[in-house]
Amino acid sequence: MAFTIKSPADSEPRHAGSYPTYHALWHLERLGVVTDLTRFSSPDAWGKVASGNRKTRVALIDTSVDMTHPCLAPAVNRGLAIDFAARDLGVFTIPRCDLSGAEAQARAGVIADAGAAAGSGDGTRDRFLRDLGQAHATQEGARAAAAGAFSGHGTSMAGLIGARPASGVYLHRPARLSPQPRDAGESEVALPYAGIDPFCEIVPISTSAMPNADQMTAALAYADLIAADLVVLASALPDPTRAGVGLVPATPPDTGMVPVGQTATGAEAVPSDAATLAAWDALDAAFIDLSSRRLLLCAAGNAGDGLIAYPANLAAPDNGIMAVGACTSDGLRASYSAGEGEGQAVTLFALSGDAPAMDAADFRLDPFAEIDNADQKALFDRKGASPVAVETLITTDVAGRPGYSSSAFGQVWRDTPGPGGAPVAFEFASFFCEFSGTSAATAVAAGLISLGFSAGRLDRATPPSAIKAALTGGQPYDGARGLPMLTWESLNSVASA
Amino acid sequence: MGEGGFDLSILQDWALSVRADTIELRPTPGEGDVALHPSQQGWSPTGAGAQMMASVSALSVAAAASGLSFQGVLNRGNRGNRGNRGNRGNRGNRGNRGNRGNRGNRGNRGNRGDAGDGVDFVILAPWEEREKLHDLRADWVNLPVSPPPTRNALRAEIPVLLDLQARLQSPAEEGRREEILNERDLELSGYLTPLGINGASGFDETMRLMVVVAQICEEVGMRYKDRWRAIRPNMLEPCLRPFIPNPAHYSYPSNHAFQSMAIAQIFARAVPEHPGNPELFRRAMRIAHNREWAGVHFRADTQAGFHLAQLFLPVLERVVEDQMIRTSEEWRG
């Protein structure tokens, strides 16, 4: 009648809010990056990264990233970070006056590169590069909309990909808990979190949710300009004709189902004019063009239906675009993930969290959640009911009240610094959060591929479509189990191919 | 590890473990301190799952031996902040709306969430946000907004506005006529509908955010209007008959465009995961373009309003930061 769970978690009481405990970095072991979660030895992955190598450069097109997070500060390239939310042609996230040394040099370098790469054409790419080539003049007076507080999604993506463990962090010790009431102070701790490739560098490219194709076209041109080894895009873009809102029979009908564009439904609030449609066409061409040089990882979408988000639905064997779906710790496709079956296939799956689902096809419930309602408990006895996977990915979060994890404290850092002027935090939990969805899966895939470059298992000179083919080639597709699943082993097969 | 790498010993010396919505930070024992090997506990590490549980078990052993462990609420902690809603008690003061005597006829709309009617959401004066706005005055008082088009360029747009004026009277545009009337003053349903809420369903922080943004932008927009002193379309071409009376201030930039775009931008920054965001932007743009249909704005006014919203966004997200955080908590629950 009721399902059974074949794992040690089975011993947990049901419906009581009592969840099994797991290591926050469980995914590193499951992915094969580290061999155990006590010693963290990683002879084939982290151990193969030579310290003198060029860092793998990951362009993260997302919200802004909280660059002050102790685990992310060493991973983020501040000099190159750029924002398109506050200015269509972009504005550097960190003002020039706040940069020095190598960061200032990197800034000057990219401006010079833009000037050299700019053509005289009228297209968005050329306009953007010409503007960037004169950034000191054109960005005068502009500033980025990249406040750390509203950087939750990007901060979580960046953490899974490339966070570094942070030491020298102090936690405030409240007086009331110490043996001697006046003995308030601080304890030195560490933030023992690592992304999958803690050797890479991340360049945050922040965009807004505004349905503006030019903004994204410029963002892609920037990722190309800075020679990113891979480009990560975990969002669905509202292209009026390519982002479907539903599936209808194609014409002629026997060719299957095709997505209905938003224009075709007539539901658009502001009808697309010719110029707008041309801008989206240009963006579409830019995706394909960029993917011939840079591997482009796109989240397949969390709609839980057959529709794959745009631009993930551009993935094809002859381009370097990968549509990443989500699979779970118990070896199934995540309930929300695209990629179920024929005609709706994603490129590959990567590890992420699960979510309950209740519909005619999928009946997946959280047996550990606190449920005091007999009606809801009875749902667990239905035919086909199965448990959700408990483990969720843990990643970095904006510290303090903003972000996915909140804080009970009104400020992150204590006013009085600790020993040697070190910052003292009131708590550490808000520095981390649970993160799920095909976004998280995309970050996991990006981390693995980045590590593949860093550890020399993937060759930066290999065309993106060839890397993609090698990662999935010959492996069976199983939309129910979420296969092929990207792990460190998958990259092994590339090396031997 | 060398330059650009990381210190592996941090991961060996400390560990984070997760259970439901709590996260724990513990020092792990040094070499040789691990007394229990997984196999000694009667588990055979057959798969990755078993290995994982085994190592968590080792951590628990370590914690028992060590005095130092920190626990924190992970992810769902924001539930605790709901307590802040208690402040709402102050809403009893709705009587203050009387100050806007010139708009007295709208008093009937007081019931927010009235089916079929628009959504008015009344807030107390956002004094904290206004104070922040003026603390940051230097950052927004001189934003690089382009000057308005020349009279010749505006004159060229008159035929377009005349065409819109004629089309607005057609049966097909009945809905738009209603929208224009509804949108004369700030009315939230246009912004709430794309988010899947109707104003009666407990998204008070979201609604307050929208009203605060509109009020802050109204003030900033007025400054820019006064700077350029641009005329309304029917002042250039009197045979244009605006569908609604000209507002009693200058035309460029359009405050409807500025405010509605700012609302969309700010909400999308606060809750970037919301699937309704693109539609929210489209509605915001439609609200702005409807003012061209009504004959009270040129297209250039609208574009300048959108541009001003973008330029002002970095300042605005600092001004309304607290309300944005409360809004994101409302959606993340």
3-state DSSP assignment of residue A123: coil
Q: Which residue is closest to A369 within chain B, CA to CA? A: B20
Q: How far is residue B91's CA from residue B228's CA, in Å, rounded to a whole number? A: 38
Query: Which of 3.20.20.70, 3.40.50.200, 3.40.50.300, 3.40.309.10 is the CATH number of A28-93+144-358+395-496?
Result: 3.40.50.200
Domain shared by B60 and B135, yes or no: no
In a domain, B16, yes or no: yes
Cβ pair B16:A144 closer than 8 A: no
Same domain as B134, residue B67: no
Q: Are residues B30 and B130 in the same domain?
A: no
Buried b (16+ CB within 10 A) or exposed e, B278-309: bbbbbbbbbbbbbbbbbbbbbbbbbbbbbbbb
Say how far apart CA B316 and CA A453 lie, in whole Å.
Answer: 40
What's the 3-state SS for A233-296? ECCCCCCCCCCEEEEEECCCHHHCEEEEECCCCCCCCCCCCHHHHHHHHHHHHHHHHHHCCCEE
Number of domain units in chain B: 2
Interface A–B counts its CB contacts (< 8 A) at 238
Read off the pLDDT of residues A110-123 as tens digits, 9 standing for 90 and up: 999 999 999 999 99
The reported pLDDT for the residue numbered A429 is: 93
pLDDT of residue B55: 34
Instruction: Please tell me which of the candidates A87, A142, A406 has its beta carbon nearest to residue B329.
Output: A406
The answer to whether the CB of B167 falls within 8 A of the CB of B295 is no
A418/A420 Cα distance (integer angstroms): 6
Q: Does B12 reach chain A within 8 Å, measured CB to CB?
A: yes
**pLDDT value of position A173:** 83
Same domain? B65 vs B136: no
User: Do B64 and B129 belong to one domain?
Assistant: no
Q: Which of B6, B75, B268 sits opposite A405 (nearest CB)?
A: B75
- pLDDT above 90: residue B224: yes
Q: Which of B 73-132 lie inside 8 A of A, CB atoms?
A: 73-75, 77-78, 80-81
Alpha carbon of residue B171 to chain centroid: 35
The boundaries of the domain holding residue B60 are 8-39+52-71
Angle between helices B277-293 and B299-319 (to 10 degrees): 140
Structural domain contains residue B147? yes
Tell me the two tokens of residue A208: 């807004």
Nearest-CA residue of chain A relative to B322? A402
**Does B132 lie in the same domain as B64?**
no
Q: What is chain B's Cα-based Rg?
A: 28
Closest partner CB to B55 (pick from A37, A86, A193): A37
Identify the CA nearest to A299 among candidates A321, A280, A330, A316: A321
How many whole angstroms separate alpha carbon A261 and alpha carbon A241? 4
Same domain membership, residue B216 and residue B147: yes
Q: Which chain B residue has its CA at the smallest distance from A238's CA?
A: B278
- Is residue B66 domain-shared with residue B124, that is, in the same domain? no
Question: Tell me, what CATH number does B318's domain have?
Answer: 1.20.144.10
DSSP per-residue codes, A40-63? ---TTTGGG--TTSPPPEEEEEES
- Which of A143, A199, A269 is the closest to B286 by Cβ? A269
Residue B76 lies in a domain: no
From CA A313, how far away is CA A228, in angstroms rounded? 22
**Residue A245: its pLDDT value, please?**
62
Q: In the structure encoding, which two tokens stand for residue A497, read together?
A: 């191919």
pLDDT at B3 over 70: no
Rounded-to-10 torsion of CA B313, B315, B320, B322: 110
CA-based nearest distance A77→chain B, Å: 12
Cβ B304 vs Cβ B228: under 8 Å: no
Cα–Cα dist B243/B184, whole Å: 11
Q: Tell me if B324 and A149 make a contact (CB, 8 A cut-off).
A: yes
Torsion of CA A448, A449, A452, A457, to 10 degrees: 130
Beta bridge partners of A232: A60, A297
Q: In A410-461, which ranges are continuous DSSP H helix?
A: 437-454
- Tell me, what DSSP letter sits at residue A316? -
> Is residue A257 scored above 80 in pLDDT?
no
Amino acid at A218: A
Residue B287 counted as domain residue: yes
User: What does the pLDDT read at residue A24?
Assistant: 96
Question: Does residue B123 have a pLDDT over 70?
Answer: yes
Is there a contact between B8 and A46 if contact means CB atoms under 8 Å apart?
A: yes
Q: Where are the domains of chain A?
A: 28-93+144-358+395-496
In chain B, the percentage of residues whose pLDDT exceeds 70 is 73
| Residue among A464, A450, A461 nearest A59 (CA) | A450
Q: Which of B5, B8, B75 comes nearest A40 by C-beta?
A: B8
Contact across the interface for A406 and B81, Cβ inside 8 Å = yes
Residue B62 lies in a domain: yes
Contacts of A38 in chain B (CB under 8 A): 12, 28, 34, 55, 58
Interchain CB distance below 8 Å, B12 and A394: no
- Tell me which residue of A187, A247, A205, A196 sits closest to A441, measured CA to CA: A196
Residues 192-251 of B with CB under 8 A from A: none
Q: How confident is the model at residue A272 (pLDDT cuts 50, 70, 90)?
A: low
Residue type, A361: A
Q: Whose CA is closest to A202, among A169, A239, A137, A154?
A: A154
B30 interfaces chain A, CB cutoff of 8 Å: no
CA A94, A95, A98, A102 dihedral sign is: positive
Using an 8 Å CB-CB cutoff, list chain A residues near B205. Answer: none
Average pLDDT, integer, range B126-137: 97
B328/A152 touch (CB, cutoff 8 Å), yes or no: yes
For testing the chain B interface, which of A92, A406, A409 should be mutated: the one with the most B CBs within 10 Å? A406
ipTM above 0.90, yes or no: no
B window 292-321, beta carbon within 8 A of A: 310-311, 313-314, 317-318, 321
CA distance B298 to B302: 7
Range among A130-134, A252-256, B198-202 with highest mean pLDDT value: A130-134
Position B188 in a domain: yes
Chain A CA closest to residue B78: A406
Shared domain for B277 and B163, answered yes or no, is: yes
pLDDT digits (tens, 9 = 90+) for B271-296: 999 988 988 998 999 999 999 999 99
Q: Residues B309-320: what's their mean pLDDT?
A: 96
pLDDT above 80: residue B100: no
